[in-house]
Amino acid sequence: MNICVIGTGYVGLVTGTVFADLGNEVICIDKVKEKIDSLNKSIMPIYEPGLEEMVKRNVIDKRLFFSTDLQGAVERAEIIFICVGTPPKDNGETDLSFVEETAKGIAKYINGYKIIVNKSTVPVGTGDFVRQVIENNKTDNANFDVVSNPEFLREGSAITDALSPDRIIIGAPTKQVAVKLLELYATIGKPMLITDVYSAEMIKYASNAFLAMKISFINAIADICELTGANITDVTKGVGYDSRIGHAFLNAGLGFGGSCFPKDIQSLVHTAERFSYDFKLLKDVLDINKERVSHFIKIIRDKLVPAEPAPAVVSRGHKQGMGDLQGKVIGILGLSFKPDTDDMRDAKSVEIINILLNEGAVIKAYDPVAIENARKILPDIYYCTSPYEVADGADAIVIITEWREFKLLNMERIKNLMSKPFIFDGRNIYDTERMRKMGFEYYSIGRL
């Protein structure tokens, strides 16, 4: 099939590449010329395992093309995928201006029947909006249908997820339109659900919201574990063995970040509000998530700054008696919002490092792939080339992202390099008992 994918962000680039790999002819369009020029030289705009090889292979085989020529791509394509960004507005609502702009572009060049597929994460009703924008702006008398086909891939495992998704959701106005999409996905051989456009749009938000809810739930349980002396690792194991619950997305830690969960949950709360539904549960999910960093910082402060004699008047806040981190050298392991990506969007590292810097700490940091992106956001810290360089002279190490290589470090060497053997593990990657036996002052989440 001839496919046009508009937007070469995470979803667009991976989707287009995977469709090409499945044997289709795909043109990926972006309005940013430098991005297209780089892609044509096989320089990837993102770090994603397996992507570069797959792009190269399909470009060589002449199934995958990158271009800024929207007209040519729209005219050729049978199916057009909209994969542009849908950032949040200040009030949590989804900003659909890129979707609108894209729909207008399609309207301008539509020259015959096309299926237009919304793959961007968009609130319920956006299918209608896209249809209306195209109807109002098209110059040709061409017919078209608008389909919702949400994407569920995760950063860091995007290629595997796209090739082997748990399910494929097709929200189409008619059976005939849905069948065209079924053909496109047939070789993937995964469960497909055909539904209406509204339901497909909602499935995407409900899925992300449910996963975020699992994370906030387990983080709240972790806090109660700390208060009661229970151990979150064992609690999670025990809970997850219930097949109705499962172990996935129950890792307690610093909470969820990234470009999807925070904005999608806010967007769903906003959509609900538009229909006069107060989604209290999701508001709590967001609130619990927001508190993760301050909770973690409190653990760091409490352990790293020796308690001062009790003041005459009980006061709160580090300026009034909790001390600060002036001059402490703190090593950070992990900067990206999660492992296997260089994405720094809504990464907990930014929030945590800025607080530590404000309190006077000196920050040394290492991440396997995100340093280049981090430099743009965090210019005032020292970047290291290895975890061992981070450890050298550090008063404490703070683990923010659970990269696999951090689990395999020579901890004896790390300890010997450090000034003081404090480890604050925001992702619970080490065994508490083992770390303490080795002589570390080890503090993690939901485990005493």
Residues that bind ligand UGA (CB under 6 A): 121, 151-155, 208, 211, 215, 249-251, 253, 255-258, 260-261, 264, 337-338
Least Cβ distance, residue 150 to ligand UGA (angstroms): 8
Q: Which helix (H) or strand (E) holds 157?
A: none
Least Cβ distance, residue 3 to ligand UGA (angstroms): 20
Q: Which is nearer to ligand UGA, 102 or 208 (CB)?
A: 208
Q: Which is nearer to ligand UGA, 118 or 121 (CB)?
A: 121
Rounded to 5 degrees, φ, ψ at 98 are: -70, -35
d(CA 399, CA 336): 11
Active site residues: 260
Q: Which two tokens stand for residue 94?
A: 């989804």
Q: Which is nearer to ligand UGA, 35 or 348 (CB)?
A: 348
Least Cβ distance, residue 261 to ligand UGA (angstroms): 5
Least Cβ distance, residue 103 to ligand UGA (angstroms): 21
Burial 204-229 (b: 16+ CB within 10 A, else e): bbebbbebbbbbbbbbbbbbebbeee
Q: Which two tokens stand for residue 275?
A: 């229909």
Least Cβ distance, residue 258 to ligand UGA (angstroms): 4
Residue 85 burial by Cβ neighbours in a 10 Å radius (0-12, 13-18, 19+): middle
d(CA 64, CA 81): 15
Q: Which is nearer to ligand UGA, 248 or 312 (CB)?
A: 248
Count the alpha carbons within 13 Å of 346 in the hemisphere toward its beta carbon: 15
- Tell me the DSSP string of 302-336: HHHSPPPPPPSS---SGGGTT---TT-EEEEE--S
User: Beta strand pairing status for 422-425 and 144-148?
Assistant: unpaired
- Tell me the DSSP string of 400-443: -S--HHHHT--HHHHHHH-SS-EEEETT--S-HHHHHHTT-EEE
Q: Which is nearer to ligand UGA, 105 or 257 (CB)?
A: 257
